[in-house]
Amino acid sequence: MRFAFLAAASVLAFAAAPAVAAPAVPAAVVQQDVTDAELASYAAAEEGVRAVQAQVQGQITAEQQAAMVAAIEGAGLTLDRFNAISQSVQAGDEILAARLAVARAPESPAGSVGATATDAELGQFATAMAAVRPIAAQLNGAAPTAEQQAAMAEAIASSGLALERFNAISGALAADQRLQARVALAAARSDG
């Protein structure tokens, strides 16, 4: 039996005894068809598959394959659904990959900026960042001129996000993986 487990970061290929036929790989899924619950299950299944993969030396055994399938099914997915999601992520579905990154990230601490930020605010933040980034790139580490400060403030204001909230989200990003993933998802959605 041969399974191709595809993860967002790398392809995990497992091959076993050639006497068993390979299952057909399902067609890629459309990211809107994948629920958040399925992505959480997928992330959990990946962990189980990787744990088994770490034990593989040479060719995969039937027991190791069974353990990988058990990890996938134990997480609440069928093998076909797991492979379909994997295939879509590997095919370059940026929004699905960004949603998966959110599912993989630990929860933001209760009461933190990341925990209280709404999807709408993060969409506004991503829009503001896209407008501010070219201005900031011109600075090369120097302090912004009054004109550049005004342009950045206008870009933030035109996003609909208050400057104070923009600064709070910006300040919280470095320490909050979930917030980083949610901002990346908002940016992917605004690009797509």
pLDDT, tens digit, 9 for 90 and up, residues 32-69: 689 999 999 999 999 999 999 999 888 989 999 999 99
Taking 80 as the threshold, does the pLDDT of residue 88 lie above it? yes
* Mean per-residue pLDDT of the chain: 84
Residue 50 pLDDT: 93
DSSP, residue by residue, the chain: -EEEEE-SSSEEEEE--TTSPPPPPPPPPPGGGS-HHHHHHHHHHHHHHHHHHTT--SSPPHHHHHHHHHHHHHTT--HHHHHHHHHHHHTT-HHHHHHHHHHHSPPPPTTSHHHH--HHHHHHHHHHHHHHHHHHHTTTTSPPPHHHHHHHHHHHHHTT--HHHHHHHHHHGGG-HHHHHHHHHHHHHHH-
Dmax over Cα atoms in the chain, in whole Å?
72
Question: Closest by alpha carbon to 78, among 16, 1, 23, 18?
Answer: 23
Q: How many CB atoms lie within 10 A of CB 152?
A: 20
pLDDT at 49: 94
